[in-house]
Amino acid sequence: MIARAFSATLVGVEALPVEVETDLGGQIMAEPERAFILVGLPDKAVQESKERVRHAMKSSGLGFPKQKVICNLAPGDLRKEGPWLDLPMAVSLLAIMGALPLESLQDTVLVGELGLDGALRPADGALSVALMARERGFKRLIVPAANAPECAAADGVDVYGAKNLLEAASILDDSMGIRPTRLEGPPPSDRVLAGMPDFADVKGQKHAVRALEVAAAGGHNVFMVGPPGSGKTMLARRLPSILPPLALIEAVDITRIHGAAGERRGRSGLLWERPFRSPHHTASHASIAGGGSRVRPGEVSMAHLGILFLDELPEFDGRVLETLRQPLEDGCITVARASASVEFPARCQLVAAANPCPCGYKGLPEEKCIGANACQRYLGKVSGPLLDRIDLHLEVPRLPVSELVSATPSESSATIRARVMEARARQAARLGEGRTNASM
């Protein structure tokens, strides 16, 4: 008799189904702790699941088989990564021991890492599994309780959150009457804006504020050039506060990417804020584009549907900058490895900033610049094809202190955002839903 449970493994931001087949040998083993065989291309974390599952079952008072246990992770040619196969292994063992009916595992996907005490720990990328379960026609998903609020976004699948192995087993046999988790709506806009820097803090630079409003309305990329202290970074950090609120499908996309990257630990529910990513100019090609032995999204994908801010643009490695040409054009980036080729979403808005010269003093009467030739060489590090993908180029001068003291504050982000949303509505009526002037 073989027990079959269903789970998944991550490849990029996509979840692929995994079938966990468990069988017991007929002979009682003298050393049962050595008779747990795991096959199906498991990585190190999955191999270690054997010890976690054994101790979790014993700690939960469920016992552990004394016969030889063999567990197969199908398909055999797909590498299984991460510890979230613990839960399906444990429940398949419970089913083959007779503690759960075999039919209770049908049409159910399970993910979760087990602690030695049987507690379920949150799983990175759980939302991707929920979306896979919906696409493949599964009816039920059991995840750690912390992952349930975000997974509830996969409509058509009953999502259950379990705190431990015993609770997961009770959901399968319906012995405790636990109900599915329901999706929570988006938070009020004022609560989202409250956690963001506000344009009301900006004094002066009226033309730059207006340029960023145009960029937000049309989805345009921006390149700001100005001396140190002119406010380029301050302006860029306030751009997300005037972008339109996220739709549900956008929040799902962002949460899925950040979950696959392992940046959702300690957080529950969907991400309703547009991301703002600001990598250092020494960032490597892999950190920007994505990569690694287990291919993870890079900064350009982490900024999907938000802002990618590159300060000191000419200081970035030229190879890194040229990597941006594909995502700025296509809204996605392909990371090729010997084992697989993975495509990540990367429809972000690029905001770049630079000093006008290596010394930063060009145009300042009180300072002496090193010379025009050096300035030309400095900005010339950024290639023409990349600059051609940036619609708005503007100078941001350093304002005198007297002008900053006397200047009135800019409009609030809420006021500017209202105009941006009106402009987006007109573009949607003219071009189609979700399209902006920048995409024409």
| Confidence label for 149 from pLDDT (cuts 50, 70 and 90) | very high
Note the pLDDT tens digit of each residue in 256-299: 999 999 888 767 889 999 999 999 999 999 999 998 778 899 99
pLDDT confidence of residue 25:
82
Supply the mean pLDDT for the chain: 91
Least confident of 21-35, 122-136, 399-413: 21-35
| Confidence label for 305 from pLDDT (cuts 50, 70 and 90) | very high
Segment 425-433 mean pLDDT: 92
| Confidence label for 338 from pLDDT (cuts 50, 70 and 90) | low
| Confidence label for 97 from pLDDT (cuts 50, 70 and 90) | very high
Segment 76-86 mean pLDDT: 89
Does residue 184 form part of some domain?
Answer: no
Find the CATH number of the domain harbouring 66: 3.30.230.10
Does residue 338 form part of some domain?
Answer: yes
Does residue 178 form part of some domain?
Answer: no
Q: Both 363 and 288 in a single domain?
A: yes
Q: Both 56 and 163 in a single domain?
A: yes
Q: Both 153 and 206 in a single domain?
A: no
Domain of 433, in residue numbers: 189-439
Note the pLDDT tens digit of each residue in 8-36: 999 999 999 999 999 998 666 656 556 88
Note the pLDDT tens digit of each residue in 307-334: 999 999 999 999 999 999 999 999 999 9
Per-range mean pLDDT, top range of 158-162, 199-203, 204-208: 158-162
Percent of the chain with pLDDT over 70: 95
pLDDT confidence of residue 35:
81
Note the pLDDT tens digit of each residue in 348-378: 999 999 988 887 667 666 677 776 777 788 8
- In the numeric block, the tokens 């050096």 are attached to 374
d(CA 271, CA 274): 8
Segment 202-228 mean pLDDT: 94
Domain finish residue from 121, 146, 173: 173
Q: Both 221 and 146 in a single domain?
A: no
Note the pLDDT tens digit of each residue in 151-197: 999 999 999 999 999 999 999 998 788 899 999 888 887 777 788 99
Q: Both 139 and 265 in a single domain?
A: no
Does residue 357 form part of some domain?
Answer: yes
Domain finish residue from 173, 197, 218: 173
Total domains in the chain come to 2
Q: Both 198 and 160 in a single domain?
A: no
Q: Both 167 and 209 in a single domain?
A: no
Q: Both 195 and 169 in a single domain?
A: no
Does residue 180 form part of some domain?
Answer: no
Does residue 231 form part of some domain?
Answer: yes
pLDDT confidence of residue 363:
66
Q: Both 93 and 49 in a single domain?
A: yes
pLDDT confidence of residue 439:
85
Does residue 128 form part of some domain?
Answer: yes
Q: Both 372 and 289 in a single domain?
A: yes
Does residue 212 form part of some domain?
Answer: yes
pLDDT confidence of residue 177:
83
| Confidence label for 233 from pLDDT (cuts 50, 70 and 90) | very high
Domain finish residue from 149, 173, 197: 173
Q: Both 246 and 358 in a single domain?
A: yes
Find the CATH number of the domain harbouring 202: 3.40.50.300
Q: Is residue 27 a contact partner of residue 109, using CB atoms and an 8 Å limit? A: no
Q: Both 153 and 195 in a single domain?
A: no
pLDDT confidence of residue 336:
82
Percent of the chain with pLDDT over 90: 69
Segment 46-74 mean pLDDT: 93
